[in-house]
Amino acid sequence: MLKVFASTVGDAQQGWVWLESPSLPPRSIVKITNADSGSSIYCEALRIDGNFLQHYNKPPRVSITSPATSIVMNGWYRSKLGNLAKQSSAQIKVELANSHWGRFMACTHHPQVVVRVAAWLGLISVVLGAIGVFLGVLSLRGTCA
């Protein structure tokens, strides 16, 4: 069970969440799943540390008193996870997803539309390039016979 906190204005359009998880390598890609709704997102995970808490816990913001059981995320990710309310507790599962697929999914789940479009255009380009190579090899096989 993690307590959900709203991100700062500076993080509102960023593709990351803040949490305290010593088992995760720095700046990992993670898959976050809300067990109640079944919704999931991929994003970058930044570690809550003393510097973050010093900046975040300034009034009038609600302070994080237990970083180990807290997660800070923007409205985009809270919405994608089933409209999680700020300062609510939710059954959230965080899994490491540092594979190429996880990185691609983090881009497709990013709050900024330009990142999502670029990811899809990149995938389309790779597929079209593979088709072009395949057709080129086929044409060479036909002329050599």
Tell me if 137 is assigned to some domain. no
Prediction pTM value: 0.89
Tell me if 73 is assigned to some domain. yes
Of 124 and 21, more confident: 124
Q: In sequence order, what DSSP letters do the residues of the chain get, joined into one string?
A: -EEEEEPPGGGTTSSEEEE--TTSPTTEEEEEEETTT--EEEEEEEEP-HHHHHHHT-TTSPP-S-GGGEEEE-HHHHHHTT-PPTT-EE-EEEEE--SHHHHHHHHHT-SSHHHHHHHHHHHHHHHHHHHHHHHHHHHHHHHH-
Q: For 59-108, what is each residue's pLDDT tens digit?
A: 989 999 999 999 999 999 999 999 999 999 999 999 999 999 999 999 99
Q: What does the alpha-carbon distance between residue 113 and residue 116 come to, in Å, rounded to a whole number?
A: 5
Tell me if 29 is assigned to some domain. yes
How many whole angstroms from its chain centre is CA 145? 50
Angle (CA) 60 63 68, round 5°: 160
Residue 144 has pLDDT above 80, yes or no: no
Residue 131 has what pLDDT? 97
Tell me if 116 is assigned to some domain. no
Tell me if 40 is assigned to some domain. yes
Tell me if 145 is assigned to some domain. no
Instruction: Give the count of domains, the chain.
Output: 1
Residue 46 has what pLDDT? 96
Structural domain including 49 reads 2-111
Work out the average pLDDT over 140-144. 75
Supply the CATH number for residue 45's domain: 2.40.40.20
Tell me if 130 is assigned to some domain. no
Tell me if 106 is assigned to some domain. yes
